[in-house]
Structure 1
Amino acid sequence: MIVGLCVLAAVLLQVMLINRLPLPAGGAPDVVLLVVVAMALLRGPVAGAIIGFCAGLLVDIVPPTAHLVGQYAFVFALVGYVAGRGVGGPATTVVLCVLMAPLVSAALGGLIADPRVTLSTLTEQVPVTVVYTLILSPLAIWLVTRERPHPRFPQ
């Protein structure tokens, strides 16, 4: 229940506020990605993949959408699984996932011939999104390191 509320809050925050902020260079941090990574770090790879899939599907269907339904569900499920595996410490995992998500999304968009995936998108918009998301990532790392799973519910 808490996971669902966190994901829903992140999607609404992303769509209603963060994407509308006039940030320099035209990018915006991906709060939903950070929530998926944080939840996956706490709950493990299987739960991370499920949380990522559900969060991505929600991102896919919440307006405004300009991509195929299922694209972000796939990307966030993959990211949730990788984050749940916990490569290194929490900081390393968060950085890896923040770098991986837009690149996998762009690669998937290229495979399905998405007209929005261009060289200028990859060189201008993706780096700005990654930087903004990395700026917010210490919050996700802090939340993960202060909140450990309950010992009765192993991962």
Structure 2
Amino acid sequence: MVSDGATNYDASAVRINVDMYYMHRSASVYMASLISSLQDDWREIGDTWDQLKIGWVGESSEAADAFNERLRDVQNRLFGTPDPADTTKVETPGILDRVRYGAVVAAANYNAAEHAVTDMFDAFVHAIAGEGEGEGGPQDSTMPPITVDYNTNPFPAPKTDG
């Protein structure tokens, strides 16, 4: 559907409500634990698969190798590419870790915004409290308003060819 531009956009009913502490805890603790558990299960499936393909010959062996290669590719995309120097570390993060990291960063951003707004209102309240009753401050002007008479232009008229 294409908008003709006549529709007024009204976002007054839209509300984003985020529990940043729960979001951070879920991403940094719960998701990490689930990803680790899933990775262990996936590794066990891969190890079992590697043991099964030993007895295959001919075309079934080639099909098993192709399947195993696709399985490893999916594993690397999900969990990341292992670091050749240290197998307990990841050289390139997988999509699951990237999603988890994105949620952690989003929670930190919500937290920073919340603190910035709170600090701003605290400073505002302290500034108002420091004003006092208003005695001795600058006074409003009692001069008449500025008026302009456009009929008496002090600037010369522009030259015309003629």
Shorter-chain TM-score range: under 0.3
**TM-score normalised according to structure 1 size:** 0.28
Point out which structure has higher relative CO (alpha carbons under 8 A, 6+ apart). 1
> Between Structure 1 and Structure 2, which shows a larger proportion of helix residues?
1
Larger Rg: 2
Which structure shows the bigger proportion of residues in strand conformation?
Answer: 2
TM-score (ref. length: structure 2): 0.27
